[in-house]
Structure formats: structure tokens, C-alpha cells
């Protein structure tokens, strides 16, 4: 039985060309980029070349790019570091109601432990946040607004430029988590006019454990920890040179393939979503059908638990998710879907199918053939379906 992987939003396989680029820095070229001898200088050159390459892809200056361990750390540095630096001047935060927990939890910590005011920016039924609504929440005390570019659960792409403009009118900084969108759609830090932006590699066929944070020139933040001058003291610790080189290669490949992948996967997504909605009753697509990351397809099956569907599909060799991987197994429905106003009985039956470069129509047809019987069986045992 072929194993079908439809959970690319959780992570992607590492591209062989990325592995090839990384290997020298896991063996012969093992130097510490902070060392002054030949081995260190060799590593430093590779690190800075990677920084320049990634900066070119997201349209920023290399000096504005800081390597991290991934999206979660980048988000935490952005939220906690900015708040810590500005707390004596401004102590109010606004974050999107559908944000990743890597943004929500730091914001909640600042609210509960540090006395920051916190407002959640609502989303509509398709997952969009309104710049007009944001303006009603902004105050002269707002330090930071953080809204995700492309949502990890429903794929909705926000109008980040308009939201950032609203924040800047009140003197607030703006951060966006672009972890799920970068490499899949065009992401331009300058055009979006954000002050901080998080990216990572393992969503675009890079290795786990390496990401980056864009910090616009002139923006001040406090570091989260101390112990060295690495990354201009904003992220101390020996740099992951191999990871950075791999991240640059992953960006390079993604940019070359982006338009081709977008067109192909968009067609597959439309085919899959239309087929599910047509052939399985009481289903609901969660998100926008137009302004979205096409790789992400979130569908609710009324009256059953998403986890049950995930496990049933797994027995058929199909890997999917019931929400974001970081909250998999939670009893409560996804906070993203709740924020969109989706009823609990519908939200609890949500499944995220996320495609990648290896996804084919043949694979989707297999899923479409197996899925109706699984849904019918689970609904026959459900105490709430049709109740």
C-alpha cells in the first residue's frame, strides 16, 4: 500500500539538493563561525552567503536577517523582545485571534505575568482580519500588532500591508508570521512594510531546526537570552551553519518552482475540495476559496471528531492532520475555526489536508475513494450526528 503524505503544513521532506548543500558543513567544513582561524572563517563565509541569499528572496538587507532555530523561536523573539524593549513606553498588544500558538502564548504570558494589555483581532467567517476593525483596537499605548500572513490551518492570506499601515498610523510596530506562506506565495518584506517577520525552513523542504527573523533596520528589541555576540547579540549561541546553508538552498529552490507549483497545486486543490463537498454530505470548507495558500485544504465533516478521521485515514496509509500539528490531540476544537465562528459540532470534525510537491491526482483520487466510507462509518457510530 502506497503511503500518501498530505500533512506538508506540519513539515516537509528535506529536498535532496538541500541535503547535498548541507553535508559539507556536517563533515569536513565543521568550523565554528565565530572562530578566527581558517575553519571558522570558512564557516563564517558560508553563513553570510546564506544570509545574503535568503535576504534577496524576501527583499531585505542581509543585516536585517537573524538566524534562529525556527518559526517558534522567531515568533517569540518578535513578540517578547519587542514588548520587553518598549514596555516603559507602550504596554498594549494586539494579535490575531487565529494566530499560531507561538504568537498567542507569548502574548498571553505578557498579559498575565507582565501586565500588558492584550486584544485579539477578530477574523470573519473566511479567516480574514479587517484593517478597519484593527483601527478600533489600536491606541497610543499599542506596542506591537502581530498577524499571520498565511494561516497554518485554513491557508487564508491576510492583507498584511493594509494591517501594517493601520498599526503604523498609531506608531505601533507590526510583526507577521510568514512561516506557512514564504516559498509558496510571493513574500516581500519591503512591500508588506512589516517591522518583523518570521520564516523557517522545514515547511519548504529545508531541515528542521533552522529559521530566521527579519528585523527592519532601526527597530530595537531586547534579546530573550544572553551568552555571546552571535547574531549581533539578538540571538546568541553558536550558529547552525549547516542549517543556514540548507535554508538558503530551500529558498532558492522554492523561488524557482513557486509559480509552477502554485498553478499545479491550485488545480489539484480545487479538484479535491469540489469532489469532497459534492460527494460527502454535511461537509464544510473552512477558509477562503480565492485568497489562500493552495496547499492548505481544511474541511469539516459534521458530527464526528477530526481525530477519528485522522486515525482512520492513517490505517489506509494516508497522513493528514486534525488541525495544526502543535495542538494535535486536543479535545477542544481548533481556536482558529472557533474564531471564524464555525459551530463546535462542525469545527470538531475538521481535517487539514495539506499538499506538497509530491502530491498527485492519483493520490488524491485514492483519498477520495476511501474517505466517503470512513465518514459514513464514523457517523453511524456518532451520538451527535443528526441529533
Is the pLDDT confidence value at 327 over 60? Answer: no
Is the pLDDT confidence value at 334 over 90? Answer: yes
pLDDT digits (tens, 9 = 90+) for 188-219: 999 999 999 999 999 999 999 999 999 999 99
**Whole-number pLDDT of residue 229:** 82
Asked about 60 being catalytic, the answer comes back as no
**Whole-number pLDDT of residue 209:** 96
Q: What is the pTM of this model?
A: 0.95
Distance CA 13, CA 208 (A): 10
Distance CA 273, CA 275 (A): 5
**Whole-number pLDDT of residue 332:** 79
Question: What is the residue-wise DSSP string for 12-79?
Answer: -PPPHHHHHHHGGGGTT----TT--SHHHHHHHHHHHHHHHHHHHHHTS-GGGEEEESSHHHHHHIII
Percent of the chain with pLDDT over 70: 97
**Whole-number pLDDT of residue 386:** 76
Q: Into which CATH architecture does domain 16-252 fall?
A: 3-Layer(aba) Sandwich (3.40)
Tell me, which fold does domain 4-11+258-381 have in CATH?
A: 3.90.1150
Number of residues in the chain: 387
Distance CA 25, CA 30 (A): 5
> What residues contact residue 247 under an 8 Å CB cut-off, 6+ apart?
50, 54, 67, 201, 206, 207, 210, 211, 212
Cell numbers 477562503 correspond to 288
Q: What is the mean pLDDT of the chain?
A: 95
Is the pLDDT confidence value at 330 over 50? Answer: no
Range scoring the smallest mean pLDDT among 35-49, 99-113, 120-134, 273-287: 35-49
Is the pLDDT confidence value at 325 over 70? Answer: no
Catalytic pick among 326, 344, 360, 372: 326
Same fold, 4-11+258-381 and 16-252: no
Residues 245-269 have a mean pLDDT of 97
166: nearest Cα among 121, 207, 204: 121
- Say which residue, 271 or 322, is predicted with more confidence: 271
**Whole-number pLDDT of residue 326:** 47
Distance CA 146, CA 89 (A): 18
Residues 27-46 have a mean pLDDT of 90
Distance CA 200, CA 177 (A): 10
Distance CA 144, CA 168 (A): 10
* Band of residue 331 on the pLDDT scale cut at 50, 70, 90: low
* Band of residue 28 on the pLDDT scale cut at 50, 70, 90: very high
Residues 123-130 have a mean pLDDT of 98
pLDDT digits (tens, 9 = 90+) for 144-179: 999 999 999 999 999 999 999 999 999 999 999 999
**Whole-number pLDDT of residue 1:** 62
**Whole-number pLDDT of residue 323:** 61
Sign of CA pseudo-dihedral 275, 276, 282, 286: negative
What three-state secondary structure class fits 171? coil
320, 307 Cβ separation under 8 angstroms: no
pLDDT digits (tens, 9 = 90+) for 80-124: 999 999 999 999 999 999 999 999 999 999 999 999 999 999 999
Show me where the domains of the chain are located.
4-11+258-381, 16-252
pLDDT digits (tens, 9 = 90+) for 283-309: 999 999 999 999 999 999 999 999 999
254, 183 Cβ separation under 8 angstroms: yes
Point out which residues pair with 299 in neighbouring strands: 285, 351
> What residues contact residue 4 under an 8 Å CB cut-off, 6+ apart?
317, 318, 319, 363, 366, 367
Residue 199 sits at φ, ψ, to 5 deg, of -140, 165
Radius of gyration in angstroms for the set of CA atoms belonging to the chain, rounded to a whole number:
21
The x, y and z cell numbers of residue 339, run together, are: 474564531
Amino acid at each position: 500500500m502506497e503511503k500518501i503524505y498530505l500533512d506538508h503544513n506540519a513539515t516537509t521532506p528535506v529536498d535532496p539538493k538541500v541535503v547535498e548543500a548541507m553535508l559539507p558543513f556536517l563533515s569536513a567544513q565543521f568550523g565554528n563561525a565565530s572562530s578566527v582561524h581558517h575553519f571558522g572563517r570558512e564557516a563564517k563565509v558560508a553563513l553570510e552567503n546564506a544570509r545574503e541569499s535568503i535576504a534577496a528572496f524576501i527583499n531585505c538587507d542581509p543585516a536585517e536577517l537573524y538566524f534562529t532555530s525556527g518559526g517558534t523561536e522567531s515568533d517569540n523573539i518578535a513578540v517578547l523582545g519587542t514588548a520587553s524593549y518598549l514596555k516603559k513606553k507602550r504596554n498594549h498588544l494586539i494579535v490575531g485571534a487565529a494566530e499560531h500558538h507561538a504568537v498567542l502564548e507569548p502574548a498571553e504570558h505578557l498579559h498575565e505575568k507582565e501586565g500588558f494589555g492584550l486584544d485579539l483581532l477578530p477574523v470573519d467567517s473566511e479567516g480574514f482580519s479587517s484593517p478597519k476593525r484593527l483601527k478600533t483596537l489600536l491606541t497610543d499605548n499599542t506596542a506591537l500588532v502581530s498577524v499571520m500572513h498565511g494561516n497554518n490551518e485554513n491557508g487564508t492570506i491576510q492583507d498584511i500591508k493594509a494591517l501594517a499601515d493601520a498599526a503604523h498610523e498609531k506608531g505601533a510596530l507590526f510583526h507577521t508570521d510568514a512561516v506557512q506562506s514564504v516559498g509558496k506565495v510571493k513574500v516581500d518584506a519591503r512591500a508588506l512594510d512589516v517591522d518583523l517577520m518570521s520564516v523557517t525552513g522545514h515547511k519548504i523542504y529545508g531541515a528542521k531546526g533552522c529559521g530566521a527573523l527579519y528585523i527592519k533596520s532601526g527597530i530595537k528589541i531586547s534579546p530573550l537570552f544572553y551568552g555571546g555576540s552571535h547574531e549581533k547579540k539578538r540571538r546568541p549561541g553558536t550558529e547552525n551553519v549547516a542549517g543556514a546553508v540548507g535554508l538558503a538552498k530551500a529558498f532558492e529552490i522554492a523561488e524557482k518552482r513557486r509559480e509552477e507549483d502554485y498553478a499545479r497545486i491550485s488545480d489539484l486543490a480545487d479538484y479535491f475540495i469540489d469532489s469532497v463537498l459534492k460527494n460527502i454530505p454535511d461537509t464544510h470548507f473552512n477558509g477562503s476559496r480565492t485568497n489562500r495558500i493552495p496547499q492548505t485544504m481544511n474541511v469539516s465533516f459534521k458530527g464526528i471528531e477530526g481525530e477519528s478521521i485522522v486515525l482512520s485515514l492513517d490505517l489506509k496509509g494516508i497522513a493528514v492532520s486534525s488541525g495544526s500539528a502543535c495542538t494535535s490531540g486536543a479535545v477542544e476544537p481548533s481556536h482558529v475555526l472557533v474564531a471564524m465562528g464555525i459551530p463546535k459540532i462542525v469545527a470538531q470534525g475538521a481535517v487539514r489536508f495539506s499538499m506538497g510537491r509530491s502530491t498527485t491526482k492519483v493520490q488524491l483520487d485514492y483519498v477520495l475513494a476511501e474517505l466517503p466510507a470512513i465518514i459514513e462509518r464514523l457517523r453511524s457510530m456518532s451520538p451527535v450526528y443528526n441529533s
